[in-house]
């Protein structure tokens, strides 16, 4: 038993070292610097909670936080809706189901920056050309307004992550005993009733995992935001990650940016953990 414990910790050690060096130590240093006036070059001087008081009066940061929250809510809904829908399609007895799984998952393999530039071309060039042909003025300048820029980001994020979330739902859907579905069908349950009373409760654990991933990824979005809208027009589509990056490297206010990052980390952690707790509780009740 003792030898087994030695091998356990031996194999676990590289992961713990990497986690400590890459995550824990930078987190501690970042927390410390958020209470100083460090700008990345000069020595730091302790300033207390000045940065935290300042950021709660920073209208641009508060707006980006509001925009990010609304974006995350919309993205979580659409990603999980399309992910589950695609999973239900490819788990049917179709000859092309394996090919469809590959096709639906492929957008997740494309890098965020490249993906943003691809959709920027679609929204500006393709939508503009279609708008000229059919006389739809609403399709022109798709990324030139806050509202259309918002939905452009949601479309991009949903297209990228729906296939990834689909894989998670597939794993749970394929483990549902077919006998239950067949028995319900014999008893006269229609497709919707079978989904509501059998399929949905049995894939509830998948919702916990999927919502955690989509929430955290939506809140932390940066690459796609940078390449698709660049925060424009007039920073109206700027998300929190971009605001923090701009404060740190554009304005050279490293400590202030770190204070924003700490607050952002606490918000994301609180929302994600609360979501996991609520969904886990619902799983038990189901």
Cα 218 off chain centre by: 3
Predicted confidence at residue 197, as pLDDT, reads 79
Task: Write down the pTM of the prediction.
Answer: 0.86
Q: How confident is the model at residue 158 (pLDDT cuts 50, 70, 90)?
A: very high
Q: Is there a contact between 281 and 64 (Cβ–Cβ < 8 Å)?
A: no
- Dmax of the chain from CA atoms? 76
Q: How confident is the model at residue 2 (pLDDT cuts 50, 70, 90)?
A: low
Predicted confidence at residue 4, as pLDDT, reads 67
Q: How far apart are CA 221 and CA 225, in angstroms?
A: 7
Q: How confident is the model at residue 86 (pLDDT cuts 50, 70, 90)?
A: very high
Q: What are phi and psi of 46, to 5 degrees?
A: -65, 130
Between residues 131 and 105, which one has the greater pLDDT? Answer: 105
CATH architecture of the domain formed by 59-285: Orthogonal Bundle (1.10)
Q: How confident is the model at residue 1 (pLDDT cuts 50, 70, 90)?
A: low
Q: Is there a contact between 176 and 93 (Cβ–Cβ < 8 Å)?
A: no
pLDDT by residue (tens digit) across 195-243? 887 888 888 888 888 888 888 889 889 988 998 988 888 889 999 999 9
Predicted confidence at residue 284, as pLDDT, reads 47
Which value, to the nearest 10 degrees, does the dihedral of the CA atoms of residues 197, 202, 203, 206 take?
A: 140
Closest alpha carbon to 166 in 219, 91, 236: 91
Domain segments of the chain: what residues? 59-285
Mean pLDDT of the chain, nearest integer: 86
């Amino acid at each position: 038993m003792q030898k087994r414990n030695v091998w356990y910790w031996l194999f676990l050690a590289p992961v713990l070292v990497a986690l400590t060096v890459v995550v824990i130590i930078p987190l501690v240093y970042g927390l410390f610097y958020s209470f100083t006036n460090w700008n990345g070059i000069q020595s730091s001087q302790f300033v207390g909670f000045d940065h935290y008081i300042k950021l709660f009066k920073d209208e641009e940061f508060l707006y980006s936080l509001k925009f990010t929250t609304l974006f995350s809510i919309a993205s979580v809904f659409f990603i999980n809706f399309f992910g589950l829908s695609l999973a239900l399609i490819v788990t049917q007895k179709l000859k092309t189901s394996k090919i469809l799984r590959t096709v639906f998952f492929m957008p997740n393999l494309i890098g965020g920056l490249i993906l943003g530039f691809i959709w920027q071309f679609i929204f500006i060039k393709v939508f503009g050309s279609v708008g000229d042909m059919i006389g739809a003025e609403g399709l022109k300048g798709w990324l030139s307004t806050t509202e259309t820029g918002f939905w452009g980001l949601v479309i991009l994020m949903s297209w990228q992550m729906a296939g990834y979330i689909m894989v998670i739902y597939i794993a749970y859907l394929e483990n549902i005993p077919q006998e239950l579905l067949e028995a319900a069908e014999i008893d006269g349950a229609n497709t919707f009733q079978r989904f509501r009373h059998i399929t949905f409760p049995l894939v509830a654990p998948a919702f916990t995992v999927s919502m955690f991933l989509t929430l955290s990824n939506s809140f932390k979005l940066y690459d796609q935001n940078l390449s698709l809208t660049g925060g424009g027009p007039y920073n109206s589509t700027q998300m929190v990650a971009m605001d923090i990056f701009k404060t740190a490297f554009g304005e050279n206010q490293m400590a202030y940016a770190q204070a924003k990052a700490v607050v952002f980390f606490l918000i994301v952690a609180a929302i994600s953990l609360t979501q996991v707790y609520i969904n886990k509780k619902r799983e038990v009740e189901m």
